[in-house]
Amino acid sequence: EAQVTQNPRYLITVTGKKLTVTCSQNMNHEYMSWYRQDPGLGLRQIYYSMNVEVTDKGDVPEGYKVSRKEKRNFPLILESPSPNQTSLYFCASRGAHGYTFGSGTRLTVV
Amino acid sequence: QKEVEQNSGPLSVPEGAIASLNCTYSDRGSQSFFWYRQYSGKSPELIMFIYSNGDKEDGRFTAQLNKASQYVSLLIRDSQPSDSATYLCAVITYDMRFGAGTRLTVKP
């Protein structure tokens, strides 16, 4: 089954404690992206990657890092999380007819 | 001006009615247009995509595109309570841009 697997689904952490959200796709897509979704603001792109070792900033990259060492994996790294990064995060992989989204990670930073 | 604009709603229709969702976009170079459905707390799922002017039908869903007016719409016929969700319009220019979504409620 074609899918984007994102983990964890839920995460509560404390300010400043580094965390990684994993994302993996099995569709051999070159393009992957991370979004955050906040009430009233819709989906905002954090980072995207057009291929292995090619990443670029989206609209809201501050406080986030990504890497793309393999085509299938695109982890999101928060080096020093802050409460304003509390949000719902989605990884997505883009094929010929749009994005396939992961199931989401609800992150709470206290 | 936002790149992709949608009426945030909520839009409320009775069961069995036609729900009409609208979206405008700012970039005339946009080539591909998508509608996603998102249930609360869940990930967006693709309903339809449309690339050419005109209508595209898939079951109870019809997407309509008018590039001259920079307008794309989604019609849901015979609306069901299970259609209650937020509908996201998305447009690809150099990247995919999403509208903020329209919340639809279908009342039994």
Structural tokens at position A62: 């501050």
Tell me the residues of chain B between 20 and 59 that have a Cβ less than 8 Å away from chain A.
Answer: 32, 34, 36, 41-46, 49
**Chain B residues lying within 8 Å of A33, measured CB to CB:** 96
Instruction: Compute the average pLDDT of residues B30-43.
Output: 93
Question: For residues A71 and A90, what is the distance between their CA atoms, to the nearest angstrom?
Answer: 18
Supply the pLDDT for residue B33: 95
Say how many Å lie between the first and final Cα of chain B, rounded: 37
- What HEC string does B54-71 produce? EEEEECCEEEEEECCCCE
Supply the pLDDT for residue A27: 95
Question: For residues B6 and B17, what is the distance between their CA atoms, to the nearest angstrom?
Answer: 21
Evaluate if residue B23 carries a pLDDT over 70: yes
Which residues neighbour A96 within 8 Å (Cβ) at sequence distance 6 or greater? none
Report the residue of chain A nearest B98, measured CA to CA.
Answer: A43
Q: What percent of chain A has pLDDT over 70?
A: 100
Q: Which helix (H) or strand (E) holds B104?
A: strand B102-107
Pick B95's closest partner by Cβ from A48, A102, A104.
Answer: A48
Question: For residues B89 and A64, what is the distance between their CA atoms, to the nearest angstrom?
Answer: 26
Q: Which of B8, B34, B87, B96 has the highest number of chain A CBs within 10 A, making it the mutation to test binding with A?
A: B96
Pick A97's closest partner by Cβ from B45, B49, B100.
Answer: B49
Query: B51-100, pLDDT tens digit by residue?
Result: 988 999 999 999 999 999 999 999 999 999 999 999 999 998 777 889 99
HSE-up (13 A, CA, CB side) for residue B35: 27
